[in-house]
Structure formats: C-alpha cells, structure tokens
Structure 1
Amino acid sequence: MQGMSERQYAARVGLSRGAIQKAKRAGRLVLFPDDSIDAEASDRRRAETTDLSKSRPKAAGRPGGMKPVPAAVIASANETLRENGVTVPEVGEAGAYMKAKTFNEIMKAQERKLGLQIKRGELVDRNRAISLVFRLAREERDAWVNWPARVAALMAAELGTETAAMQKVLEAHVRAHLEELAQPRIAL
C-alpha cells in the first residue's frame, strides 16, 4: 500500500470514515493507483475545495467536538442526581456532557414541580410567611404589654389594694415572662 487507508486518513484529519468516503467519491482526495490515499496531496486539495462556511469547527482533542464541562458543574450534577435516586457512574469527558444534560433535565422537572405546588397553594412565599409570623407575634406581645393597664384596676378593687401598685407588679411580671419567652431555646 503506497498511501493511507480511509481509516488512517480519517484519524489523521479528525473526520469520520464516512466523511472521507464521501470526499473520495466527490473527487476531493488524491489517490494512488492502489486506491490508497495520498495524504499530503489530499490535504492540499481538500483545503482548496472545502467551503469553510459549510464546515463545523471541531474542538481539538475532544470527543465529538463537545465543549468541556467544568468540574464544579459535574460535582453539582452528581449530587443532584444522587438526591433524585439516579445512579451516578464515573464517566470520562465524553460522558460528562451527558451527565450535565441529565442534570439539566432533572432541574427543569424540579422547577416545574415547584411551580405546580405554588399554584396549588401547597407552598407559600417564605418572606411573606416570615413577615406574617412576625406581625402576629408582635400583636400578641403588644396585647400582653397592654393587659396590666386594663385589668389592674379591677384586680386592685377585688383585693382592696392600690391600683398603681397592682399595675406596677403586674407589668413587672408580664415583662419578665415575655423576656423569658423571647430567649431562644436550644434542644439537642
């Protein structure tokens, strides 16, 4: 064999064997009498006859010309896939793209699920819930702070004591109790 086989030439130029066969049929390759490919001459002819606007750029050294996937994305994808019960085999660079696509589809499905839960009223806005609870707690505290002033006169009359003294004692105990309730309780 004087030149290269179709497979050898395809590997050399980074194309598929089918693309080399197509170029051979179209006369874009230079052949030796034994039907092997003259690599140098074929490279020149291909360069002259190839329309660059119709060719797709190929990333050097990457399977299928795919872009590399950052390690942080793969780590995040692995974690999300495991959380969703998907087994995560270790894959090379070519499988990383498919893993990232799978991760993307799972994330879209989760977003759609959350959207449906919000529409059904199963989920509420966190900030709105926090402000509502805060407002209710403040109203409850204010009601307790104002309670001694409302009932001190009635209690003083029943016990036969001074109203001001009764109010002062009640306010002190209510405030002490509210401070006690405000302290965080940590239960481990």
Structure 2
Amino acid sequence: MMLLVAIGILGVKMGNYSTPIAVTFQKAVGEWGYVLVIAGMLISIFGVAFASSFNTPALIASLATEHSMLPSWIGKKNKHDAAWVAILFSAVISAILITQSYLFLVSCIVLASFVQYVPSILAVIKFKHTNEFPNHGFKLPGGYTIPILALMISCYMVTNFTWKTILVGVGVGVLAAVAYFFIEKDEKAEQKHQQYLAKI
C-alpha cells in the first residue's frame, strides 16, 4: 500500500530517490514526515543489527558443531558458553562489510534472502512424487508449471542486481561449496580411520 501511495505521488520520479517512502511523506505532510520515516528506518535497522549480533554467531557455531558444515574450531566456546570464535569471525566480516555503501549492502541482503527461494522451488520439483515421506508425495495443480514459472521468474529477477552484487553472491557460494567439499572429505577420512581402528 505504501508503495502504491509513493508511486501515486512521485510517479516516474520515484526511481530518482534512494529513500522514496521518506520523500513521499515529505511531499505529503511536510518536513517532519521525512524525519519521521528516516527515524523509523534507523530504529528498524538498529533492531535488526542488534538481533543479528546475537543470532549470527550462534548460527555460525551451529554450522560448525552440529551440522559439520564449517571447521569444528569455529564453534569453540568459552567458560560462559559463548561461541567466541564465531563472534570474532562475524565481527571481522561485519567490519569489512561496513566499509561498503549502504545501497550495496541492502542489495546483498535482498539477494541473500531471495536466493533462499530457489532451493525451495527445486525441492518442490524433487519431492512432488516421492515415497520418502508418509504422504507419498503431493499433488500440485498444473503439474510442474508453477515451480518452473517460479524458477524462470527468479532467474529473471536476479538479473536486476548489479554485477558487483552478483559476483559477491557467486563468490560466497563458491567458497561455501569448497569448504563443504573439504569438510565432507575430512569426515569420510575420519570415518575410514575409525573403521580401521575398530578392526584392529
């Protein structure tokens, strides 16, 4: 609804502003409207950053200790049960990212959130007909039409990001794949070692 109001007031000029909602309020009610929206945005950003400062290290530690998708030493905790290595790791990454522009970081967040939908679409295609679950698959109107259209739209929307954002996303994906490959390889080697010791 807010976007519809912004489009109605700003029209084709909406793309000229980095904060179109705030500018819309400014034109509608005056300068205090702009200040109100910006203040609300800053409070929201602070809330997300504050929550992320707790959630991100916990997730990183979980990937290391519970899911074995990161080296186990990243999940080390101190006497207060705080994942201090993961906290330092996320702090260093945050310090690097904070040097970038705000709009670039926003686009990275949007891309990271958006990419999560692609595995969901592929999962729908994979598990539509399967006996792995008690319901023996599920019925989807139109067969594979909906997930295929969703996948095509997703691929098209990715092209709207800048090359810098896409390269960062691809780089992170490649690093994650390489790390997962070596971790899985180490796990298989460890399993073989344990089996060898058991035979002895």
TM range, smaller chain? under 0.3
| Structure with more of its chain in helix, by fraction | 2
Largest Rg, 1 or 2: 1
